[in-house]
Amino acid sequence: MNSLLEKYRRYLPLEGVAPVNGLGEGNTPLIKSGIGGSDNLFFKLEQLNPTGSFKDRFAAVETALMRHKGVQACIATSSGNTGSALAAYSARRGMRCLILVNETAQENKLRQILAYGARIFRVRGLGVSNEQSALIFDRLQELAEQSHTRLVISAFKYSPLGMEGIKTIAYELAEQLGAAPDQIFVPVGGGGLLSGIWRGFLDLKERLLIGRLPRMNAVQPTLNDTVVTPLIEGLDQARDVDTTTSISGLAVQIDIDATLALKSVRASGGRGYSVEEEEIQRVQRQLCLRDGMFVEPAGATSVAGYLKAASLRDVRADEKVICILTGHGLKDMSSVGRFAQRTQIRKIDLSDITSKLIESETVSYPPPF
């Protein structure tokens, strides 16, 4: 059975759970990139999971556990990717799924959720005001307990067992490289992705399957800087912010797993990097044109962080470095529109199809990374 859960069952909280058929989650490619002239930079293509993001690893474990416990429905909050993953895996397991999203959640992500049969409600204040978001989480917990359903939030704070599925990224990286990488750059919203990868490497080190641990680097947009500034200032806790970031998926303004991520970075000897939204958008565009990688802005954030680190000489040429690309570009078509609208689509006749057409339509590539 070629299932992520069965392959790594010994590492996951699946004792007593019947064998699980997944959707083909995990086993994502690790591709070498020549960005910046590096021979040791690799991209982990998490956008190639079944629903287009790394959240499938979480949803696969979480819904398997729900089915094992006889849970018939779940309630979840999401900016889009968690919702799509849970909706798909709930459909796979025959469970009902209700998704609450913030007011600015991307329409493409919502259409994907609806396609799997889940119900969606936009909630005022969710993902914008940290005070209102905290109240919403508390109310949802009460509702789940009253209705005997499962509140699912892709964070160790709320769904620690399901989040163990994120560790499988670390297991795959060690297998694909034959060892742990030297550094990993991870986009941070809630903080669960970075924390889960770090836990996976701790598992491998404890079992003597790797000889050393990687340095984990947190990358955030400057407008949702819950982790990076506290790291730089030497603080022990993440901070809450009132976010205005447009980087979908990273707009998590309260400390859910942010402090956990901060402690993971510090324990690993890594650093924090904040990047401007314009730089993230530029990198997203260049990934398309230079590397053929179509990712949403959150997925490009790790690469923007790597480029900043490289410019500061925080990365040595001989170090093996991983950037986690988290979500597919089709998730956020509004961001694609920002650069695609610059290119005109002409209507031509048969008589126009000549060698002059090729010469006149040469792509204008942006400057290299």
Q: How far apart are CA 54 and CA 328, in angstroms?
A: 10
DSSP secondary structure, 152-221, as one string: E-SSTTT-HHHHGGGGHHHHHHHHHHSS--SEEEEE-SSSHHHHHHHHHHHHHHHTTS-SS-PEEEEEEE
Q: How many separate domains does the chain show? A: 2
- In this structure, is residue 355 part of a structural domain? no
One domain for residues 278 and 331: yes
**What residues pair up with 215 in beta bridges, in sequence order?**
183
One domain for residues 101 and 171: no
DSSP 17: P
pLDDT digits (tens, 9 = 90+) for 123-159: 887 766 667 777 888 888 898 888 888 899 999 999 9
- In this structure, is residue 131 part of a structural domain? yes
All residues at 6 or more sequence positions from 362 whose CB lies less than 8 Å from its CB, including other chains? none
Task: Please report, for the domain that includes residue 93, its CATH number.
Answer: 3.40.50.1100
Instruction: Give burial (CB, 10 Å; 0-12/13-18/19+) of 88.
Output: buried
Q: What is the pLDDT along the chain (369 residues), one digit of tens a residue?
A: 468 999 999 999 999 999 988 999 999 999 999 787 788 999 999 999 999 999 999 999 999 999 999 999 999 988 789 999 999 999 999 999 999 988 777 787 899 999 999 999 998 877 666 677 778 888 888 988 888 888 999 999 999 999 999 999 999 999 999 999 999 999 999 999 999 999 999 999 999 999 999 999 999 999 888 999 999 999 999 988 877 778 877 777 778 899 999 999 999 999 999 999 999 999 999 999 889 999 999 999 999 999 999 999 999 999 999 999 999 998 887 776 666 666 677 888 888 888 887 776 555 555 655
One domain for residues 251 and 279: yes
Q: How far apart are CA 66 and CA 56, in angstroms?
A: 15
What's the confidence (pLDDT) of residue 294? 94
At how many degrees (to 10) do helices 277-286 and 297-311 cross?
100
**End position of a domain, from candidates 161, 180, 213:** 161
What's the confidence (pLDDT) of residue 128? 66
- In this structure, is residue 352 part of a structural domain? no
List the one residue out of 315, 296, 369, 226 whose CA is nearest residue 54.
Answer: 296
- In this structure, is residue 359 part of a structural domain? no
Q: How far apart are CA 184 and CA 20, in angstroms?
A: 30
One domain for residues 126 and 268: no
pLDDT digits (tens, 9 = 90+) for 20-68: 889 999 999 999 997 877 889 999 999 999 999 999 999 999 999 999 9
One domain for residues 236 and 294: yes
Contact 369, 36 (CB under 8 A): yes
> In degrees, to the nearest 5, what angle opens at C-alpha 224 toward C-alphas 107 and 134?
80
One domain for residues 46 and 194: yes
- Structure-token pair, residue 299: 């997925």
- In this structure, is residue 349 part of a structural domain? no
**What strands, in cross-sheet order, belong to the sheet with 150-152?**
119-122, 96-101, 73-78, 150-152
Ranges assigned E (strand) in the chain: 30-33, 41-45, 73-78, 96-101, 119-122, 150-152, 183-187, 215-221, 272-275, 321-325
Contact 90, 96 (CB under 8 A): yes
- Give the number of other CB atoms < 10 A from CB of residue 362: 7
One domain for residues 227 and 330: yes
**End position of a domain, from candidates 106, 138, 161:** 161
One domain for residues 8 and 94: no
One domain for residues 213 and 145: no
What's the confidence (pLDDT) of residue 368? 58
- In this structure, is residue 47 part of a structural domain? yes
List the one residue out of 17, 12, 91, 20 whose CA is nearest residue 51.
Answer: 91
Q: Identify the residue whose tokens are 């090729």.
A: 358
Q: How far apart are CA 148 and CA 222, in angstroms?
A: 39
- In this structure, is residue 133 part of a structural domain? yes
One domain for residues 131 and 259: no
**End position of a domain, from candidates 132, 161, 190:** 161
One domain for residues 269 and 232: yes
- In this structure, is residue 93 part of a structural domain? yes
Strand 272-275 with 119-122, pairing? unpaired
pTM: 0.92
Which domain range does residue 44 map to?
Answer: 4-53+166-336
One domain for residues 107 and 15: no
